Structure 1
Amino acid sequence: MQNKNIYNIFNIVIVFAMTMFFSCQSIKKKKQSYSISEETPIAEVFEVNLKYTDSGRLAAILKTPKILDFSNKDFAYFEFPEGVVLDIIDKEGKVSVVRSDYAISYKQTGLIDMRGNVDIKTADSTHLQAQQLYWDQNINWIFTDQPYKSYLPDGTINEADGFDANQDFTILNSRINDGVMFIKE
């Protein structure tokens, strides 16, 4: 009988020791799996259809296949490696559409860098094409030093090597222009 009790106690000690051994090992593995390099995003989001409202009014719709969140970096940013489509809706309900093949948005500066086939179609039928554009969200200003081409509703075509403008394109400063303008006699 005494041998049986010792045998049971021995089995209990072994089971307890094995449990402790494996549980410590799994904690170590969990800690290792949570260490994320700054080179990898903290989060990935797929098939985004984000609606932004301002005082209850739909102001913008962002669509993108993928967002990478690098807020774990010292200079945090969101990357849109497969491009974006942004519908901007004004107070009258008119829609302007911005597209690009790639975009990156910096949190600290409010600057958005759009690259590759950047295409803007405003609600008043102005059409602008460029390979790269920057949008400063803090001051609502758009600019580029890259060549661009614009088509205005009156048929005017403008090509230039850079511009800066307010978000509504009511102020436009263009550099080194070449284009076609129709003038009534």
Structure 2
Amino acid sequence: MQKRTIYILGNFVTAFAVTLFFSCQSKTSQTNSYRIDDDAPIAEAFEVNLKYTDSGRLTAVLRTPKVKDYTNKGFGYREFPEGIVLDIIDNEGKISVVTSDYAISYVETGLIDMRGNVDIKTADSTHLMAKQLYWDQSINWVFTDQPYKSILPDGNVNEADGFDANQDFTILNSRINEGVMFIEE
């Protein structure tokens, strides 16, 4: 009987050891599937309709099909890979519309880089078209070194190789201009 008890106890210890050995296997294959790639955004949003207010007054509306948030990076930014439509509303309620095929907004500097078919239609009917445009939100300044074309409300057309202006376009410094101006005699 003692041999049988030792035999049963030995089998029990062996079964217990084997169970412990197999239960301690690595689960890294499952946990790695939950890891986020280092180049991945920390958030993505779709069909965004974002309203900006200042002292309770609506100042801008941003619409975009997709935004990727990389603000966790050393130099954080938000990317709009499918473009933007931005309505800017002035103090009188007049709306200017800015569109582009792609945009990227840098958090630290407040600089927005818009690329591809940048189109601005101001509330006073000025129309500006460019390949690329930068908007420095910290100083409310717009600029580009790329060719652009503007059509003023009076029909004057201006084409140039770059400009810088305040965001209201009341100050405009244009470089290497060509255009058509209508002058009353």
Same fold? TM cut 0.5: yes
C-alpha displacement at 1:29, in angstroms? 3.4
Query: Can you list the C-alpha shifts for 1:104-137, whole angstroms capped at 9, x where unaligned?
Result: 0011111100000000000000000000000000
> For residues 66 and 176 of structure 1, what CA distance do their matches in structure 2 show?
36
Tell me, what secondary structure is at the counterpart of 2:30? helix
Which residue number in structure 2 is paired with residue 118 of structure 1? 118
Aligned mates of 1:93, 1:15 — CA distance in 2:
73
Determine the structure 1 residue equivalent to 2:6. Answer: none
Give 1:82-121 correspondences, 5 Å limit.
82-121=82-121
Q: Distance in 1 between matches of 2:164 and 2:102?
A: 20
RMSD: 2.4
DSSP 3-state at the match of 1:34: coil
Quote how far apart the aligned CAs of 1:36 are. 3.2
What residue in structure 1 maps to residue 30 of structure 2? 29
C-alpha displacement of 1:12: 10
Secondary structure in structure 1 of the residue aligned to 2:34: helix
Tell which structure's C-alpha radius of gyration is larger.
2
2:176 & 2:144 partners in 1: Cα distance? 13
Tell me how far apart the structure 2 counterparts of residues 181 and 113 of structure 1 sit (CA, whole Å): 30
CA distance, structure 1, for counterparts of residue 108 and residue 86 of structure 2: 21
C-alpha separation in 2, matches of 1:130 and 1:28: 49
Q: TM-score, normalised by structure 2?
A: 0.85
Aligned to 2:148: 148
**Secondary structure of 1:128 counterpart:** strand
Aligned to 2:5: none
What is the aligned residue count?
Answer: 180
Please state how far the C-alpha of 1:31 moved relative to its aligned partner: 6.3
The Cα offsets for residues 9-66 of structure 1, whole Å up to 9 and x where unpaired, read as xx99999998776xxx5588336623431x1111111000001111111110000000
Aligned equivalent of 2:10: none
- Please, which runs of 5 or more residues in structure 1 have no aligned partner? 1-10
1:157-176 correspondence to structure 2 within 5 Å? 157-176=157-176
Letter in 1 for 2:95: V
Q: Tell me how far apart the structure 2 counterparts of residues 86 and 15 of structure 1 sit (CA, whole Å).
A: 62
Q: Under a length normalisation based on structure 1, what TM-score does the superposition of the two structures give? A: 0.85
Q: Detail structure 1 runs of 4+ shifted over 6 Å in the superposition.
A: 11-21
Amino acid aligned to 2:55: S
1:66 counterpart residue number: 66
* Residue number in structure 1 paired with 2:40: 40
